Amino acid sequence: MLAIFVAVTAIAVGLQSVFMTIAARSILKLIQKLEQRVDRFELDTQELIDRVRKVVGCAEPVGRIAEDVSTTVNVVSEMITTRARDIDQFVEETIQFGREQASKLDHVVTDTVGKFEQATEVIQKDVAQPVAEISSIVQGIRAGIAYLFSRKANATSRGENHSDEEELFI
């Protein structure tokens, strides 16, 4: 039964590890795509800022609007970069947590198996062995009593009363 429990636990830990690895890879791919988009976004933003600056030279009111857009784009870019870092940190913490839980589970299973083996040894040594010895003694006593009663019954039924020495000589 313990072996089944250990097997089920091992399968559960294995499946959890597989799913955690798949999730981590998916999140890492997502982060890479996000970073690529952020880089492209930053390049596009920088190009847009350069174009806007040229237009600003021509029109002052349009320049102020462009500065506001530039500031907003920079804030959004920083926000996206911060979010990407947060997601990366979350993934690392999740993976570490999964590893810690797997380690704890391994320790629990190992400890349980060790205790089960110790209990088996104690039962074998302190219970099964003395019971076998007592059973052997009881069987010996039964055989002796059966022999005595069968001998007396045979002697009294025949009417014979031989001494022990006479029975030894045939």
- Tens digit of pLDDT for each residue in 120-141? 888 777 777 778 788 889 998 9
- Average pLDDT over the chain reads 83
According to DSSP H, which parts of 1-59 are helical?
A: 2-58
Measured CA to CA, the distance from residue 119 to residue 127 in angstroms comes to 11
Identity of the residue numbered 158: R
pLDDT at 163: 53
**Does residue 158 or residue 1 have the better pLDDT?**
1
Is-above-0.75 flag for pTM?
Answer: no
Confidence tier at 68 by pLDDT (50, 70, 90):
confident
Tell me the C-alpha to C-alpha distance, in Å, between residue 17 and each of 3, 25, 84, 106, 147. 21, 12, 24, 13, 69
Tokens describing residue 137: 């003694």
- 3-state helix, strand, coil split of the chain in percent (to 5) is 95, 0, 5
36-66: pLDDT as tens digits:
988 898 898 888 888 878 876 776 765 677 7
Asked if 22 and 43 count as a contact pair (C-beta separation under 8 A), the reply is: no
DSSP state of 124: I
pLDDT number for residue 22: 93
Compute CA distances 52 → 33, 72, 74, 75, 80, whole Å.
Answer: 28, 14, 14, 17, 23
Q: Residue 155 is which amino acid?
A: A
User: Among 75, 44, 14, which residue's Cα sits nearest to residue 52?
Assistant: 44
157/146: higher pLDDT: 146
Q: CA–CA separation, 52 vs 46, rounded Å?
A: 10
| Phi and psi angles of residue 75, each rounded to the nearest 5 degrees, phi first | -65, -45
**What confidence score (pLDDT) does residue 78 get?**
92
- What's the CA dihedral at 10, 14, 19, 23 to 10 degrees? 120
More confident residue, 95 or 60: 95
Q: Are 13 and 108 in contact (CB under 8 A)?
A: no
Residue bearing the bigger pLDDT, 7 or 59: 7
